[in-house]
Amino acid sequence: MALAVALAITCITLATCGLFVFHPWWFPSPISTLASRIDVQFNLTWIVCGILFAAAQLTLAYFAWHYRGSRSGAQATFSRGNNILEGAWAVTATVLFLGLGWTGYRLWAGFPFQGPAPGAMRVEVWGEQFAWYFRYPGPDGRFGPPHPDLMSDGMGNYLGLDRQHDLASRDDIVTTTLAIPVNRPVTLILRSKDMIHSFFVRELRLNQDLVPGRAIPIHFTATRIGRYKIICSELCGMGHYKMHADLVVMTGRGFQEWLRKKAEQQ
């Protein structure tokens, strides 16, 4: 039985480490420099955690077998503990964990605290049960005020814009797909009409809640052209599972063309 326990724990440890090393299921490729830096921090953490994982599990497995009571001449050795060893391990763990936290901190300090890069393109992201809408400010660079009392999905006025009376709203472009030009800093301003939703694009490694009553900015620069999925990752109701949209990263010229066509459709 002792051998079985040791073997089982060892196999689980090897299988787990193997799965992480060969990772048949893994993150998608990153599409921004920030995403790549996050991946570096992930890899550092995997290595540290992997070493601790293997060390602890294999020690457990070894002890369970080596100190089995069925071995001949088995005797327990009385010991109340070893405060020096315990203290040394506590200090080591503290340094290790805080060190890991420190490298993570330097990465964190790099993005949510910084304001947008100069010239960043601003796009509003609106979430509601169960759809995404995106608003571009148009040539005037200003977002018109949304009026909750005018919001009506049935009438197609998703964001409650009053294009008649609000000058800033006249050139706003509302779409159901988020298109952005490649290699251009972008600021998304996240807003919600009703519940808490969450904007999650795996390839950007970005995930931010949309909180009703707030406008939350996130910044990034996409470095690869392609079509990526935006999924809602905060439970928002019965249609949460189908609240998806597309993020399309285009060439600069392609984006201008796309935006022009969308403006015509408003």
Partner 1 sequence: MPEAQILSALQPQAPRPFLRKYVFSTDHKVIGVQYYLLGFLAVGIGTILSVLMKLHLAWPQAAVPLLGRLWPLGAPGGVMTPEFYLSLLTLHGTLMIFFVLTTVPQSAFGNYLLPLQIGAREMAFPRLNMLSFWLTLASFMILLSTLFVGDGPPISGWTAYTPLSAVGSIAGPGEGLGQTLWLVSIAVFCVGSLLGALNFIVTTLLLRTRGMMMMRTPLTVWAWFISAILVLLSFAVLLAADSLLLLDHLAGTSFFIPAGLVVSDQLMTQGGGSPLLWQHLFWFFGHPEVYITILPGMSITSQMLSVFSRKPVFGYRATVYAFLAIAAMSFAVWGQHMVASGMNPSLAMSFATLTMVIAVPSAAMTFSWLGTLWRGKIRLTAAMLFAIGFVSLFVTGGLTGLLLAQPPLDLYLHGTYFIVAHFHIVMGAAGVFGIFAATYFWFPKMFGRMMNETLGRIHFWVTFIGVYCTFMPMHFLGLAGEPRRYATLTGARFFAPLQHLQVFISVAAFVTAAGQLLFVLNFLWSLRRGQPAAPNPWDACSLEWTVPSPPPRNNFPGKQPVVYRGAYEYSVPGAPRDYIMQDEPEVTS
* Tokens at 14, concatenated: 């090897």
**Does 253 help bind partner 1 (rule: CB under 8 A)?**
no
Q: What letter represents residue 201's amino acid?
A: V
Least gap, CB of 141 to partner 1 (angstroms): 24
Please report, as residue ranges, which positions from 225 to 244 form the binding site for partner 1 (by CB under 8 A): 229, 231-242, 244
Site size toward partner 1, by CB under 8 A: 101
Which residue in 7, 14, 18, 23 binds partner 1 (CB under 8 A)?
Answer: 23
**Does 48 help bind partner 1 (rule: CB under 8 A)?**
yes
Judged by CB under 8 A, which stretch of 115-123, 162-170, 171-179, 194-202 contacts partner 1? Answer: 194-202
Which residue in 22, 72, 83, 139 binds partner 1 (CB under 8 A)?
Answer: 83
Pairing of strands 185-192, 121-128: parallel
**Does 156 help bind partner 1 (rule: CB under 8 A)?**
no
Which residue in 123, 205, 249, 250 binds partner 1 (CB under 8 A)?
Answer: 205
Q: How far is CA 170 from the centre of its chain?
A: 34
Which residue in 68, 142, 170, 262 binds partner 1 (CB under 8 A)?
Answer: 68
For residue 48, with 0-12 CB atoms within 10 Å meaning exposed, 13-18 middle and 19 or more buried, which class applies?
A: middle
Please report, as residue ranges, which positions from 92 to 151 form the binding site for partner 1 (by CB under 8 A): 93-94, 97-98, 100-101, 104-105, 107-109, 111-113, 128-129, 148-149, 151
**Does 17 help bind partner 1 (rule: CB under 8 A)?**
no
* Tokens at 142, concatenated: 């200003």
Q: How far apart are CA 187 and CA 116, in angstroms?
A: 6
Q: How far apart are CA 137 and CA 92, in angstroms?
A: 53
Judged by CB under 8 A, which stretch of 18-26, 134-142, 178-186, 250-258 contacts partner 1? Answer: 18-26
Cross-sheet strand order for the sheet of 206-210: 178-181, 244-250, 226-232, 197-201, 206-210
Which residue's CB is nearer to partner 1, number 228 or number 258?
228
The DSSP bridge partners found for residue 129 are none
The DSSP string of 178-224 is EEEETTSEEEEEEEESSS-EEEEEGGGTEEEEE-TT--EEEEEEB-S
**Does 165 help bind partner 1 (rule: CB under 8 A)?**
no
Judged by CB under 8 A, which stretch of 46-54, 165-173, 174-182, 256-264 contacts partner 1? Answer: 46-54
